[in-house]
Amino acid sequence: MPKIAVPITPAVLDWAISDSGFSVEQIAEEAGVQLADLNDWLGAKSQPGVTEVRALAHALRRPVAALLLPKPPDSHSPTVGFRHTPGVAGRSLSPKERRYLRKAARLQAMLAAIGTEMGEARPRLPRLDTSGDAGAAAAQVRQALAVPNGAHPQWVSASAAFDAWRESVESLGVAVFLFQLGPESCRGFSLWNEAVPVIAVNTAWNDEARTFTLLHELGHLVARTDSACAAGEPAELSGAWDPVERWCEVFAAALLIPEEALSSGIAHSANRPVGRSQGGRDRQAIQEHSLGGRTTQLFRRALADDVIARSEALTYLDIPDQALDLLGARRMDSSTHRCVAVR
């Protein structure tokens, strides 16, 4: 049977490859196609078959429909400043980081649309200048977060502390995502949006590191500096620093523990790649924990008010249909890392 050619647009294929962060050679290898054939498709000399288009879509982490667009879309991956501490080599964003940035931006756009339709209040985040004192900025934000000085007596573990900080940050109108970026990727990133600012935290690191990253990226949000931040020693404040990155590091340290209570123990515990086990948790629990309480509750209310269709929610939340009715009806128990019913 002759191959059925699929009429993809070369400019769209070129856009998808460029946006992925992979090279043409890498995409050919990942998709299992000949490099010469891929170059012919890019040069409009021939067209791929159905199997080849599916393989390309898989390699590019895109739906097949994206490759059938008549022209490249106007929207592109979000632009962030890739920042790093002294001693960490500069580099471009990796394909995995680009993919999760796109995922965060898609969720952010949907959450902003839902929030606007439902009349959600705007985030309560001050705009602060990084030329000012980071400690004073942290004190101002700490008041908005309403957290105590030092460790809270109810925070029986580092994971409980992270969950409490996350809930406090989300209470200001920020969506906090947990993504499995891996230890080779950035420790987190932030995307400003006046309706729904986003922080993403890399789950490859232990809970102490996640907390520091969360507050560091909060610093980028109050400074209105979209950033992806490489792993480094957060309490090491010497060397050739990006001034914005240094400001956010000092901001996070002062927010986590007021200046008078700072100790060297933060640096010691902050960068061990550990991650939490997800054993025994179903897909709904994993996704809800990844997307956070603000996101799941907003989707839940939007469904109840018919602001979005069920099919849209399933697409964005990536959970089974039967789990959608339980969305937001359970919370994470920090001591067991399992979901329990909300009463």
User: Which CATH number fits the domain that encloses residue 48?
Assistant: 1.10.260.40
Report yes or no on 143 lying in a domain.
yes
Please name the amino acid found at residue 340: V
Quote the pLDDT of residue 241. Answer: 64
Q: Are residues 229 and 334 in the same domain?
A: no
Amino acid letter for position 41 = W
What average pLDDT does the segment 189-218 reach?
93
74 found inside a domain: no
In a domain, 75, yes or no: no
97 lies in some domain: yes
Do 163 and 50 share a structural domain?
Answer: no
Report the range out of 71-75, 161-165, 231-235 with the highest average pLDDT. Answer: 161-165
DSSP lists the bridge partners of residue 82 as: 228
88, part of any domain: yes
In a domain, 76, yes or no: no
* Same structural domain, 250 and 316: no
Q: Are 238 and 232 in contact (CB under 8 A)?
A: no
| Contacting residues for 125 by C-beta, under 8 A, at least 6 apart | 141, 144, 172, 173, 174, 197, 221, 222
Among residues 216, 238, 269, the one where a domain terminates is 269
Contact (Cβ atoms closer than 8 angstroms) between residue 191 and residue 198:
yes
Structure tokens given for 192: 């400003």
34 and 87 belong to one structural domain: no
Domain finish residue from 42, 67, 92: 67
Give the helix ranges, DSSP H, for 229-309. Answer: 243-256, 265-269, 283-304
- Strand 330-333 relative to strand 338-341, pairing: antiparallel
* pLDDT tens-digit map of 12-23: 999 889 888 888
pLDDT grade, residue 338 (50/70/90)?
Answer: very low
Same domain, 22 and 103: no
- Same domain? For 158 and 259 the reply is yes
Number of domains in the chain: 3
At 73-118, the pLDDT tens digits run 876 567 676 675 555 555 678 888 888 998 899 899 999 999 999 8
Q: How confident is the model at residue 237 (pLDDT cuts 50, 70, 90)?
A: very low
**pLDDT by residue (tens digit) across 45-82?**
999 999 999 999 999 888 888 888 888 887 656 767 66
**What is residue 149's DSSP assignment?**
S
Task: Answer with the one of 240, 269, 298 that is the final residue of a domain.
Answer: 269
Structural domain boundaries, residue 57: 10-67
- pTM, full prediction: 0.74
